[in-house]
Amino acid sequence: MDDTQRAFLDELLTTPSPSGFETRGQRVWVDYVSQFADRVETDAYGNAIAVHEGDPTVDTSFAIGGHADEIGFIVRDIVDDGFLRIARVGGSDRTVSKGQHVTVHTDDGPVQGVIGQTAIHLREGDEEYEDISEQFVDVGAEDEDDAEDLVAVGDPVTFSSEIQELANTRVAARGMDNRVGTWVAAEALRRAAAAGADATVYAVSTVQEEVGLKGAQMVGFDLDPDAYVAVDVTHATDNPDVATSNRGPVELSEGPVVGRGSANHPTLVELARESGDADDVDFQLQAAGSRTGTDADGVFTQRGGVPSLNIGIPNRYMHTPVEVVDTEDLDAVADLCAGMAERAGEHAPFSVEI
């Protein structure tokens, strides 16, 4: 990853993009891909698609997508004493939210706050974590009128954590899920275009994955590609406190994770494995018996069936403010997806033999 690619990643990670409020993050993505894509399009809800036209005589289209949105909160109510009641945006974890710095993103700019946590001295015993709906944000307002001058019901809220460099090539930040996937989609397109891929290659950055794969369903129907690779984070279960029953084969720094089962189309699995072997990209395998939990689930049933594959990026501590990935994994996933795009025409049409 060179300095330009890293600067793009950092800008994605530091630009707030909660589900339903992805516009700023999508602008960062569009500006980057516009430097090398043949064209860039957006739709009514802000899904973004960058295109490498390829060879016009090759009738194969291959899409690589990540989702732009991050989990967070939304202002649900402003109460008499000036505190804000909040609701979840996506799968926010009540066990990590209290005592955190947050930013309320208002029409007039950011407002800083904290999610209150009663001091240990004043708590009675080991109280259970309250539901998000029972937690509150303190923005320093004196009363309801004061708070209403600062924020409005419906303003999105995100954690205020910054990017932290860890040892080796590992990085911690909020919202790795899934700005790293949109980074991969953009970089895979750039690399496939530089290699002169014959297929039409799409890089996609979808909206509202965290609230039900909504953007993927829109894109899957409208774009109707011959194949779709959904790049998303997946659980690296190599940290000490993961229960034995939840441990799996995925480790940080061990490369892309190719899903098998459910929505993962066998021909695309074969293409991924072939590309990894041919390009010396180490990869891991992961079972998906019922669902992938990614945009692949939203795309593959569109238009009578769009062959889809989930490729995972190993990620520790998902849905916390301190998600950890290895930037070498990101490069490896981009290389794998670019290699698949280059070979797409050799494997099309993507269908199983009966």
CATH number, domain of 197, equals 3.40.630.10
Q: What is the pLDDT of residues 259-311, one digit of tens each?
A: 999 999 999 999 999 999 999 999 999 999 999 999 999 999 999 999 999 99
Distance in angstroms (rounded) separating the CA atoms of residues 21 and 84: 19
**For residues 88 and 126, what is the distance between their CA atoms, to the nearest angstrom?**
24
pLDDT (tens digit per residue) in 143-192: 999 999 999 999 999 999 899 999 999 999 999 999 999 999 999 999 99
Catalytic residue among 22, 187, 209, 254: 209
State the pLDDT at residue 111: 98
**Residue ranges of E strands in the chain:** 39-42, 48-52, 61-67, 72-78, 84-89, 101-106, 109-115, 136-138, 156-159, 164-165, 170-173, 200-206, 227-235, 257-260, 284-287, 308-315, 323-326
pLDDT grade for 61, boundaries at 50, 70 and 90:
very high
210 assigned to a ligand binding site: yes
pLDDT surpasses 90 at 245 = no
Does 192 share its domain with 337?
A: yes
Residue 87 in any domain: the answer is yes
Average pLDDT estimate for 63-87: 98
Position 244 pLDDT exceeds 90: no
Q: Please, which pLDDT band fits residue 72 given cuts at 50, 70 and 90?
A: very high
Could you identify the residue written with the tokens 């990590």?
A: 96
**Domain containing residue 77:** 72-159
Domain boundary, last residue among 159, 186, 204: 159
**CATH number for position 149:** 2.40.30.40
Annotated binding residue at 319?
yes
Rounded Cα distance, 96 and 168, in Å: 26
pLDDT class for 82, splitting at 50, 70, 90? very high
Question: Is a pLDDT exceeding 80 seen at residue 125?
Answer: no
Provide the pLDDT for residue 124. Answer: 81
What is the pLDDT averaged over residues 10-16?
A: 98
Cβ partners under 8 Å of residue 4, min gap 6? none
Q: What is the pLDDT of residue 187?
A: 98
Residue 164, in any domain of the structure: no
Mean pLDDT of the chain: 97
- Structural domains in the chain (count): 2
Q: Is 346 a catalytic residue?
A: no
* Higher-confidence position of 245 and 215: 215
pLDDT confidence of residue 284: 98
**Which tokens go with 230?**
């959904």
User: Do 194 and 306 share a domain, yes or no?
Assistant: yes
The pLDDT, as a whole number, for residue 247 is: 87
Which of 125, 159, 193 is the last residue in one of the domains? 159
Q: Is residue 202 in some structural domain?
A: yes
**Residue 101 annotated as lining a ligand binding site:** no
- Count of residues in the chain: 354
Of 159, 188, 222, the position where a domain reaches its end is 159
Unique residue bearing structure tokens 């040892």: 167
Please tell me the predicted confidence (pLDDT) of residue 243: 87
